[in-house]
Amino acid sequence: MVSQYSSMDSALPVPAAATLRRVRQIQTITIAWMSVEAVVSLLAAWMAHSPALLAFGGDSAIELVSAVVVYWRFRSKGSDERTEKLAARITGSLLFALAAYVALVAALALLGHREVRPSYLGIVVLIVAAVVMPLFAQQKRRLSALTASAALRADAAESALCGYLSIVALVGLVANAFWSIRWADPVAALCVIPLVAREGWQALKGKPCDCC
């Protein structure tokens, strides 16, 4: 049986070549999808004046940056403890930025300054994200355990949160469109903030998985 790690002496275990290729593949796919998701959702948010879509689009943009950072971490020639810690700090900080961003947008939504219009384009992209992002998160969690990467763990958390927020935003759009319940999505978005902050703290501490 071939070990997942090489025998090189380093502060962090060195993953096998196949594992590194898989990480780079999943990050490349994530970068491509998040580019589309961010542009479409932010465009739909602007057209519909939707705070929920704006929060989701902002999350998508942060997830895009996070995916690029993790891709860089696994493309780095050094791939040592210093590179991993820097990547983990960046992705962890992005999670805290996301928590603050969601709190701000949710608070503004609760004030109800702008009338939110129905957005069928937004609904479509939210449905796709609700299906795709949990699959990304599952793969990244598994790979973060294999690579002992806190940065990849944080990126997995952001993918999972992107999926969760897509459901939150979708429920909010539907509730507003059919029942005029305008406070539903910002309240639900506020509920996810503790989870975002927890995952950001775990990344800053350098924990690649819950068992570490």
Count how many Cα atoms sit within 13 Å of the Cα of residue 124 in the half-sphere of its side chain.
Answer: 7
Does position 18 have pLDDT exceeding 70, yes or no? yes
pTM (2 decimals)? Answer: 0.75
Residue 1 lies in a domain: no
Establish if 12 belongs to a structural domain.
no
Q: Is 211 within a domain?
A: no
Number of Cα atoms under 13 Å in the Cβ half of residue 114? 17
Query: Is the confidence at residue 11, as pLDDT, over 70?
Result: no
* Tens digits of residue pLDDT in 129-179: 999 999 999 999 999 988 888 888 888 988 988 898 888 888 888 887 778
Number of domains, the chain? 1
* Rounded CA separation 163/182 (Å): 21
* Distance of alpha carbon 139 from alpha carbon 30, whole angstroms: 11
| In contact, 49 and 114? CB cutoff 8 Å | yes
**Is 11 within the bounds of a domain?**
no
* Domain-embedded: residue 9: no
3-state DSSP assignment of residue 5: strand
CATH code of 200's domain? 1.20.1510
User: Residue 78: pLDDT band by 50, 70, 90 thresholds?
Assistant: low
Domain for residue 189, yes or no? yes
Domain hosting residue 130, numbered range: 17-204
| Residue type, position 74, single letter | F
3 within a domain of the structure (yes/no):
no
Tell me the C-alpha distance between 195 and 151, whole Å.
Answer: 17
